[in-house]
Structure 1
Amino acid sequence: MASVDQLTAAGVASAIAEGALSAVEVATAALDAISARDADLHAYLEVTPDLALEAARRVDERRAAGEPLGPLAGVPFAIKDNLQLEGTHTTCGSRMLEGYASQFTATAVSRMLAAGAVPLGKTNMDEFAFGSSCEASAFGPTRNPWDLARVPGGSSGGSAAAVAAGEATLALGSDTGGSIRQPASLCGVVGMKPSYGTVSRYGLVAFGSSLDQVGPLARTVRDAALCLQALAGGGPDPLDATTTGAPRDFLAHLGPAADAPEPLTIGLVPRLLEAEGLDADEKSALSHARHVLADQGATFVELDLPHADAAIAAYYAIASCEAFSNLARFDGVRFGAQVGAPTLAEQTSRTRAAGFGAEARRRQLLGAYLLSSDAYERYFTQAQRIRRSIAADLSRALSRCDAILAPASPTCAFGFGERSDPVRMYASDLFTVGCNLAGNPAISVPLGLGPQSGLPVSAQLIGACHDDARLLGVAAALERGHGASASAEPAPVAPAFLGRGGELPA
């Protein structure tokens, strides 16, 4: 058997169910990996050994008593630090919430626990999910497990790095404009943003309420599907009115690895595949993905998304406005830290200046301006119109194919400090924000290491709204074909913590 830190979630659950491993053994191995590696990576803000071992013991007791086990029984998972878990702190990577103790548990986390998963702790993130590199955390950056001098992506960088480094088997992230898919791409793991409304947002600290979605980061597509089944398989959440639909089977289109994949039609959008700024390694990965899918009998159809070029502008207008509204509550009176002052107005001003970092202040200032009477119609209203057009474009395109092939990130992992210009950093989201605006599901599938950089590369697949199961099936076909065609698979656990990667960032 492979070492425990290299097992998939399906492998862990199977080994525990069969008695080959105990849940306590698996949890202990995960905690040992964190202890050995996280001083270099800084993937976690808080580790919860007591909660993990208690949950693992309950799994072992149920097995010993002959009781049925959940589908993720004994699988260690990490939780992005904007999701509540009672008994932990939820800081959102911000000084504003430093020391805040969660008073309840998010529905997504509760459903993971009900499936038998074992909570390892809370992972680092860009402050309030504002970022694409995990450099904006108030508690220091997370490092990429493939090269410690590079970023892991963001804002769910801690969750992606934890899975890539063998510090967790699964992890939860949130995706507002690509914050699961982009770090998954940079760290060489699977990352999925489900359709909007598939997973409850209750207990997720909001960034953009019409854009946020909780989703899995995993080592394989099957693991992502198992995680999504736990997160959403129970159907709508009465605590979140935006959740939709009846319980669904997200494993329906996966099939055993030996099965021939269903004939697929894949959409190609030239303006995405040939976009300015797309580096050579990512272009190579997309070309490889096309060949892999073609070898499995897929046919291709050329599509146009006429409003794709406007997605970044529309996204940053809408997201900033929603962020300004959502973060207004952190004023030192209702929520958050408090800095004393002679008057209430001055106290609020000082508290927000001290509690929020530069990027959080920048986003809120932009949102405040865009919602002002002078700018509302010119910017926010226009952005909403573009949003509807983007959704219509995707709907038309996906009526002709099973999924659209696109990049997840324009480049491989970049170095710390390379994108200090905010506009350049925002361009990291070029290929991901459209799905959040439209509510479509999308998944980043790792495709090994780039021939020039030696860093992880990936392809993104975009599916039709609320057809997440079919999208997972297409992703599994790409994953199977890549595994069959690759001459050398990358290590399941990234090697940087073993000494690769050069100098650590300050």
Structure 2
Amino acid sequence: MAFTSAAELARRVQSRDVSPQALTEASLARIQAAQALNAIVSVNPNAAAQAQKVHARVAAGEALPLAGIPVTVKDNINVTGTATTCGSRILAGYVSPYDATAVRRLVQAGAVIVAKANMDEFAMGSSTESSTHGATLNPWDTARVPGGSSGGSAVAVAANLTPVSLGSDTGGSVRQPAAFTGVYGLKPTYGRVSRYGLVAYASSLDQIGPFARSAEDLALLMNVIAGHDPQDATSLHAPPAFQVGTPEDLRGLRVGVITESLEGNTSGVHAALSVTLDALRGAGATVGEVSLPELRYAIAAYYLIAMPEASSNLARFDGMVYGRRVSGHDVTEAMTLTREQGFGREVQRRIMIGTYALSSGYYDAYYSKAMKVRRLIAERFTQAFRDFDVLVTPTSPFPAFRRGEKTSDPLAMYAADVDTVAINLAGLPALSVPAGFETVDGAALPVGVQFIAPALHDELLVKVAGALEALGAVQVGGAPGY
């Protein structure tokens, strides 16, 4: 069951060939067996009860698109009755009293939330090394990182703990770990999936997105979790209509390779990109290059927007209402000590930089200027889509790096998102497709190719993925030993 797609498992549950309880028990057993990966931070105490409810609904004749499917959810997405720590000491002991909208829709569709996944603290990182729960290991090579900040969610799928999972993507936090672990990772159009119940990092950039091992499973999840939500003011009125594509859908597709993304890639990443482009050409797509020179400013603009938003959003974590609280002589000292002891080093760094960028005398020099660059980047993407249906880049210029390799150099860690952050600035949908492997120090490490579509054309990305699967140009597989 661990190697079967979510779509097929749901069909088996619906036809009574397998029970939701059996799927839940199998998933929990695999989580127990893979504890060394540190992908899971807590198990849902209500999982068995959820599975029993699904069993009763199926027995009553209810058609459920995700009947009995075990799902792992990133630990910054609220699930009733489970700890939501965001990988931080400051939320130790916090138990969520409600479900995020995406979680509620999964449960309504018959899914069983089995566990919460490890993550970089407050989603601030590219390696899942900064969590208070410890680092998550990449199942392809446990000396390497799984990417971040949704590393635990990616590993849950790559190591076959659950067939699908949810993460969040602020600057590449779904796509980059998907590339590092050899699975699909979709960052939807901003507003396509409700953010209600997602703990905010940078509100104008955050978006919940799925991990999966097939285009069919991506379509299945997106048809459930996408759609307008009145509880999220940024939610769009865009009903989902996801379906798997065929090679015929690639005929006449105009594919633009972003010139700036062709520099600085390892040989394995370059080879995977070339193979993918050859497959597209062979199926009748036209492939050309397009230059987006403004992308060279994307990393700087991204962090000068994300960090001020983080400074504002994380001001609510002061120990006064929920989470960790450290006593002091007065309220100010208590808040100061709580935040000093509750937040990790990277979170503190981003709060301080963000506060500085928003301060009097520096707002116009930093935050305001970054917002202008953001607009220019969005406009450049709009221009590119006049000539191309989708744009293509590597998801990351290199495969998974070693644990500890970049932790002492924050700028090197930030640069790991060079191919992904611009998409969040522009609010566009993008999908990392597992496209091959690069052998490094004797280990076969997955690499990904990123497809970018115009806003609200998320369905096109899943169609392209399905078509590439049919052509044999997608290389998804369970990590060795898992």
CA contact (8 A) 2:137 2:143 kept: yes
Residues 147-176 of structure 1: CA deviation (Å, up to 9, x unaligned)? 111111000000000100011111000000
Equivalent pair of 1:148/1:496 in contact (CA under 8 Å): no
Letter in 2 for 1:25: A
2:188 corresponds in structure 1 to: 194
TM-score by length of 2: 0.97
Deviations 1:80-127 (A, max 9, x none): 000111110100000000110101110011011111111111110000
Residue 430 of structure 1 corresponds to which residue in structure 2? 418
TM-score by length of structure 1 reads 0.92
- For 1:437, give the aligned amino acid: L
Distance (whole Å) between structure 2 residues aligned to residue 466 and residue 260 of structure 1: 18
Q: Give distance in 1, aligned partners of 2:238 and 2:340.
A: 44
Q: Distance in 2 between matches of 1:11 and 1:196?
A: 29
Rounded to whole Å, the distance in 1 between the matches of 2:429 and 2:249 is 24
Residues of 2 paired with 1:248 and 1:166: CA distance?
27
Indicate the SS of the match to 2:293: coil
Amino acid in structure 2 at the alignment position of 1:269? I
Residue 261 of structure 1: CA displacement? 4.1
Residue equivalent to 2:314: 327
- Show the counterpart of 1:466: 456
**Is the counterpart of residue 242 in structure 1 residue 234 in structure 2?**
yes
**d(CA) in 1 for partners of 2:466 and 2:388?**
16
Instruction: Structure 1: state its 5+ residue gaps.
Output: 498-506
Distance in 1 between residues matched to 2:271 and 2:17, nearest whole Å? 41
Does the 8 A contact of 1:293 with 1:477 survive in 2?
no
For 1:292, the equivalent position in structure 2 comes to: 279
**Structure 2, unpaired ranges of 5+:** none
Which of the numbers 201, 206, 211 marks the counterpart of 2:200?
A: 206
Q: Which residue of 2 aligns with 1:219?
A: 213
| 1:270 and 2:265 aligned | no
Letter aligned with residue 234 of structure 2: T
Residue 444 of structure 1: aligned partner? 432
Equivalent in the alignment of 1:10: 7
Between the aligned partners of 1:73 and 1:259, the Cα distance in structure 2 is 31
The 2-side partners of 1:228 and 1:379 are apart by 36
Of 155, 172, 183, the match for 1:178 = 172
1:34-433 alignment runs, 5 A limit: 34-37=31-34, 39-48=35-44, 50-65=45-60, 67-232=61-226, 235-251=227-243, 254-255=244-245, 261-273=250-262, 275-276=263-264, 278-420=265-407, 421-433=409-421
CA drift of 1:291 comes to 0.8
Shift of 1:377: 0.5
User: Distance in 2 between the 1:5 and 1:413 partners?
Assistant: 24
Give the CA RMSD over aligned residues: 1.5
Residues 1:494 and 2:479 are matched in the alignment: yes
Is the Cα contact below 8 Å between 1:147 and 1:496 reproduced in 2?
A: no
Alpha-carbon separation, structure 2, partners of 1:63 and 1:372: 56
SS in 2 for 1:285: helix
2:25 is equivalent to residue 25 of structure 1: no
**Equivalent residue number for residue 479 of structure 1:** 469
Contact (CA 8 Å) 2:247, 2:470: kept in 1 or not?
no
For residue 439 of structure 1, what is the amino acid of its counterpart?
A: G
Q: Distance in 1 between the 2:321 and 2:303 partners?
A: 27
Q: Cα–Cα, structure 1 residues 20 and 113, in superposed 2: closer, same or farther, change >3 Å? A: same
2:38 is aligned with what amino acid? H
Count how many residue pairs are aligned between Structure 1 and Structure 2. 479
Tell me the percent identity: 47
Aligned to 1:459, the other structure's residue is in SS state: strand
Q: Distance in 1 between matches of 2:332 and 2:15?
A: 62
**Are the aligned partners of 2:192 and 2:238 in contact in 1 as well (CA < 8 Å)?**
no
Residue 502 of structure 1 is matched in structure 2 by none
